[in-house]
Structure 1
């Protein structure tokens, strides 16, 4: 009598050990992706903040004697502001900014306060500059006003400077309500920088 050939049951575990539960992958994906993104953003923020160079003040055009402190005091000056008298040069992030004294300009459209600005790229890479959003003025009463488009003055444009390149133009502020005598401060604050440090040029009208 022949015995039928028996085949192993595929549903049985030959080792006698209970079957392992399958690990689910999706919880690790849900947790891991945000962690990786957060880490990448943190590295980018640290790199951006760490890459900003300290501002230096010179007493005149680029190349003159460097002023050691953070410049003259003015009402509302913040701890990390770097100030200078109008006409001096402040250099930061390989851009040297020379801002002239404020002048009251009358035109058919009204009155404006304008300063002539010269920006020189003293670095070895291309560098961006902005002639509108980055500029403000603090008036004699302490109010900080945005820049505007002044009449009868070539305005400072926005763009990119090659190494050694220069851009010159005016930044202007509305003065149709008048310009009371006193201390005025032209303020530069990089709109697209994580830093809140400002550059300031003090004028007296």
Structure 2
């Protein structure tokens, strides 16, 4: 006769072979936790790859001069006040090529208008790659003045501005990038800075003008 007190829980019975019953392990909670973790890890790998790759930078100072600096090497061009470790610098007028876009920035020019004074550079961007590429004449550009203050590009009256858009492979965009001349073009070192707003890279390109 079976002792009714031996199995206090309803429905609990010994196994046919005398072994205690096994509890079924639930699999779905691990799937719910594991799948997002795997997806997040894959995204992390993709982000790291996008930051690490495609950042080769070269500088050409003029026709026939060849590559004056290699962004992958220790030499990242001339120094300037406030230069960061990952900045690639060149004299104004040089061409810096990165991510299949070649940027040529002319020396700064003082421009006086009825609305104020500006410092402007003419920027030419050549798409030397095989894919369509974006450009922006405002959010990507800034100017470091002689006092070390950095300010964003602004609209310059009476100048054909660079504006923004896309460049087809083999195409070119050109126009002015202007900045408020609050210091009255004081003598010293000015640096036109480029930093891609929508890139994960924080590396800046810099063109140095001495007025």
Q: State the TM-score, normalized to the length of structure 2.
A: 0.85
- Residue pair 1:123, 1:164 contacting (<8 A) in 2 also: yes
Secondary structure, counterpart of 1:48 in structure 2: helix
Partners of 1:108 and 1:162 lie apart in 2 by 37
Structure 2 gap ranges (5+): 1-10, 70-74
Partners of 1:166 and 1:81 lie apart in 2 by 24
Structure 1 gap ranges (5+): 1-9
- Aligned-residue Cα RMSD (Å) equals 1.9
User: Corresponding residue for 1:41?
Assistant: 43
User: Corresponding residue for 1:66?
Assistant: 67
User: Corresponding residue for 1:147?
Assistant: 153
User: Corresponding residue for 1:21?
Assistant: 23
Aligned-pair distance for 1:118? 0.1
Partners of 1:82 and 1:185 lie apart in 2 by 12
- Residue pair 1:90, 1:98 contacting (<8 A) in 2 also: yes
Secondary structure, counterpart of 1:28 in structure 2: helix
Aligned-pair distance for 1:64? 4.7
Partners of 1:64 and 1:95 lie apart in 2 by 19
Partners of 1:178 and 1:29 lie apart in 2 by 65
The aligned runs of 1:1-205 (5 Å cut-off) are 13-60=15-62, 64-68=65-69, 69-205=75-211
Partners of 2:41 and 2:82 lie apart in 1 by 37
Number of aligned residue pairs: 195
Secondary structure, counterpart of 1:116 in structure 2: strand
Segment drifting more, 29-38 vs 139-148: 29-38
**Cα deviations across residues 91-123 of structure 1 (Å, max 9, x unaligned)?**
011100000011111112111111000000111
